[in-house]
Amino acid sequence: MTQRDSHQRRPAQERTCEVRWIRPGRHGSEIARWFSRFAQVPEARDDDYLISPRMPGLSIKIRGGASFEVKQHRGVVGELDIAGAAAGSIDSWIKRSIPLPGGVDLSHPLEVAAWRRVSKRRQIARFPIDASGGGAGSPGAPDCSVELTEVEVIGQSWWTLGFEAGGRGALGRIKRAAAVVFAEPLPTASAFKAEEACSYAEWIEGLGHPGGTR
């Protein structure tokens, strides 16, 4: 292996802040219209999450067959509380990602006992935020991504709304992006509740357990 190959295989590391709400069923046309006021980029992929052995505080997955990703939970760093709209804890994570040369053939699911496949269809809006905290930034400024996602897992349909930002100032970018997103009231009277906020890893671990939905 050359020095260049070794460098390319070295895990890329990133610190992120995230908050995500997960609900059963599909989000429906009203939520889609509510979110459609922002420019979006669609993405569809299958992720395979390691669920056995259980490793609290870690999220391990093969991302779309193209990379091996490990996320370590670093604790709660803030709270989002927008009256009548959304409440939830904002978590800090360290993410390490290793490209898989040539990809991985995921045409057949991995060993069911150890892995759980999650199919995602995402609409992603990005909000550049001025590093000074003054509002919208230039297109090259650090951003916060907001994802409206339909999820299929073990024959069940779910949907999520998630905010993620990386690097310095990530917590503030999430809060400012959330203020923009929730400036228009939700199309239903049901606000996103704190107990609905969790990571994919936490939610997936509970699926299929007796009496468990998260």
Kindly state the tokens that stand for 18: 């995230």
Q: Which two tokens stand for residue 81?
A: 């509380």
**pLDDT per residue over 63-96, tens digit each?**
998 999 999 999 999 999 999 999 999 999 999 9
CB 128 within 8 A of CB 143: yes
Give the pair of three-digit tokens for residue 189.
Answer: 């009277």
- The residue ranking higher by pLDDT, 61 or 205, is 61
Query: What are the residue ranges spanned by the domains of the chain?
Result: 14-206
- For residue 185, give both structure tokens: 């009231």
Query: Is the domain covering 14-206 a CATH 1.10.3470 domain?
Result: no
The residue ranking higher by pLDDT, 62 or 106, is: 62
- Cα distance between residue 73 and residue 202, in whole Å: 11
In 3-state terms, what secondary structure has residue 75? Answer: strand
pTM over 0.75: yes
Q: Does the structure show a pLDDT above 80 at 42? A: yes
What is the band of 131 on the pLDDT scale with cuts at 50, 70, 90?
A: very low
Residue 54 to residue 203: CA distance in whole angstroms: 13
